[in-house]
Amino acid sequence: MRALVQRVVSASVTADEVLGRIEKGLVIFLGVGQGDGEEDARYVVEKVVNLRIFDDEMGHFNISSLEAARQLLIISQFTLYADVRKGRRPSFTDAALPEIAKAIFDMTVELFRETGLRVETGRFQERMLVEIQNDGPVTIMVDSVGRHRPSRA
């Protein structure tokens, strides 16, 4: 599972109507890959809500969205699994099939809600317009594959 996390001052997502809107917080573009499951979802949720990417009084990254009670806007994005190594058209064969991805996406959104943070979402498999006022800019990729790799010390 991949989550592209952006710290924002405000953000919204619309289709025919406004689907979600947040003020200070995180926009999380969430992609579900082949073989992803509950363990991946739990890893991504725990990692994202505990990322210390909000400024403390000294201006240092030292506060998490949980500590700051920030808002989350979660948007499904299978294109995070684009493979562009061959040719000019991206391949999405590493992305989970839509019916599987939707169930895992919904479960992940529920896990984010269980943290107590305010959570807004887009609409799965919908063409949406996303407006983001990026703060920093701060953009971080979280990949559940990382839970299997030793960290570089």
- Cα dihedral 37, 91, 4, 9 sign: negative
Q: In whole angstroms, what is the distance from residue 37 CA to residue 43 CA? A: 10
Q: How many residues does the chain have?
A: 153
Distance of CA 57 to the CA centre of its chain: 26
- For residue 140, what are the CA distances in angstroms to 4, 26, 93, 125? 6, 11, 23, 23
Question: pLDDT tens, 44-77?
Answer: 999 999 999 999 999 999 999 999 999 999 999 9
Q: Point out the residues that are catalytic.
A: 77-79
pTM confidence score: 0.94
pLDDT exceeds 70 at position 10: yes
How far is residue 115's CA from residue 65's CA, in Å, rounded to a whole number?
10
Superfamily of segment(s) 2-145: D-tyrosyl-tRNA(Tyr) deacylase (3.50.80.10)
Coarse DSSP helix, strand, coil percentages of the chain, rounded to the nearest 5 percent: 25, 40, 35
**Segment 82-127, tens digit of pLDDT:** 999 999 999 999 999 999 999 999 999 999 999 999 999 999 999 9
Give the pLDDT confidence of 24-34 residue by residue, as tens digits.
Answer: 999 999 999 99
CA dihedral of 55, 72, 33, 122, whole degrees rounded to 10: -140
Domain-wise residue ranges, the chain? 2-145
Which residue is associated with the tokens 């990382």? 146
